[in-house]
Amino acid sequence: MDIRYRIQGGVPLKGDVTISGSKNAALPLIAASVLCEGETVLTNVPFLRDIKVMLQILDYLGAETSFQEGTVRIRTQNLQSKPIPADFVSKLRGSIVLLGPLLARFGVVEMCYPGGCVLGKRPVEAHIRALTQLGAEDMSSDEVLHLQGTLKPGHVILPEFSVTATENAILAAALVPGESRIEMAACEPHVQAVEKFMCAMGAEVEGIGTHTVTVRGRKQLTCSEYRVPSDYLEAGALTIATLVTSGKVRLHDVEYDHLMNFLDVLKRMGAEWKYDAVEKVLFVDGEISSLNAAEVRTNIFPGFPTDLQAPLGVAMTQATGVSRLFERLFEGRMAYLYELENMGAHVEILNSHQALVIGPTTLRGRTVSSHDIRAGAAMVLAALCAEGETVINNVRYIERGYDHLDDKLRSLGAKIEKVELEDPKEVAAKVTQNVVQESVKESTKVTSE
């Protein structure tokens, strides 16, 4: 099924909306359930395909899972470690965070490379290095990730500030009696959620939210209940949606500490917002905001989030002056700018990491594509402030990262429609199948006569 969004732009967003739980936090928290025998309960879990795939993997390994109204229950008494096939992990790159917990509990973990074999070993180097520094033996091949051995406390020095490698190291160390030290640790909000969850399960973690983390693990952890923190990336996207449509929106369940750099950039650009720390409500007033150009460089937390770079690029098309974007962390993150150019934006891509955005420009509705989760969100924001109708293809990307985004935007007054079309390949397959079935029927009829 091919899913698209049809969006009629030019409507100011107004009203209240509650931010969903963070997918990037929920996935490693689900993986953490592997570390104990019993029932883990996670609340405020977003309803996303990636979450369902992660639970399917645990079901395959023998767990019992349920997912109802934002609450996930995972029972792991009968869990076992066995090779996880590509059918599962190719759908979910985030499944990599199962490496540490499975290895720590069972002494062996084997899976195809997350995201498919085309990724090769290079993207998982940080994970392998972290776990081998805790005593694991790397027996991986070009097709399969395979680690085994009894883990022991160690000094882990990560080669980069990798979020998921940090999570794997923390999760593994939590089930190893003794003290482990992790250097070059990432400290994004979803990493902090994992660290706090380990404390709730009985481990001791020092340095939460810093780049040096000490974990004092235990031989046995206690299953616990934990609330998934709200998604600061969704909050950031909806903040920009409010600004570029000149709307007025109150965002509920927002953690200011997770967005402080992002909000500071917007304030310097001329955005008007207020935060209620008691109620955790962010009020964004796009009616009185007047955006000006800025220079922004993405960075590891607490720097400007790379996952909000594409949404910010849309805001820059509506800002006065020449804005400069520096993407420090990932190549390929600026492909969405070509789609914005198609909509009328004035963009100069200097190289794979730098671009200029000259504004303000009037965006016009076009048919555009969603290249990845965050680029897809940017296309939605661009469509909301564009003249006329925009059709966005590959919506599956967007819906992997944003929980009922179209419903939330409609509740704020946006004219957005989800259109489901049959995939041409699926249609052709059905036609072929029907032809074959009719031929068989005719042959049977002739034979009987």
Question: Which amino acid, one-letter code, is at 2?
Answer: D
Q: Are 276 and 256 in contact (CB under 8 A)?
A: no
Q: 8 vs 372, 381, 389, 391, 416, CA distance in Å?
A: 22, 11, 4, 9, 7
Q: Which of 38, 209, 172 is nearest to 96 (CA)?
A: 172
Q: What angle separates helix 232-244 from helix 373-385, to the nearest 10 degrees?
A: 20
Distance, CA of 254 to CA of 262 (rounded, Å):
13
Q: Are 341 and 368 in contact (CB under 8 A)?
A: no
Question: Which amino acid, one-letter code, is at 221?
Answer: L
Distance, CA of 134 to CA of 149 (rounded, Å):
10
User: What 8-state DSSP symbol labels residue 134?
Assistant: T
Residue by residue, DSSP assigns 360-378 as: ----B--EEE--SHHHHHH
Q: Are 55 and 67 in contact (CB under 8 A)?
A: yes
Count of CB atoms situated within 10 Å of the CB of 202: 17
Q: Which of 299, 293, 302, 308 is nearest to 238 (CA)?
A: 308
Structure tokens of 417? 């429609």
Q: Which residue among 36, 117, 187, 199 is the active-site one?
A: 117
Query: For this structure, is 36 an active site residue?
Result: no
Residues pairing with 110 in the sheet:
146
User: Which residues are the active-site residues?
Assistant: 117
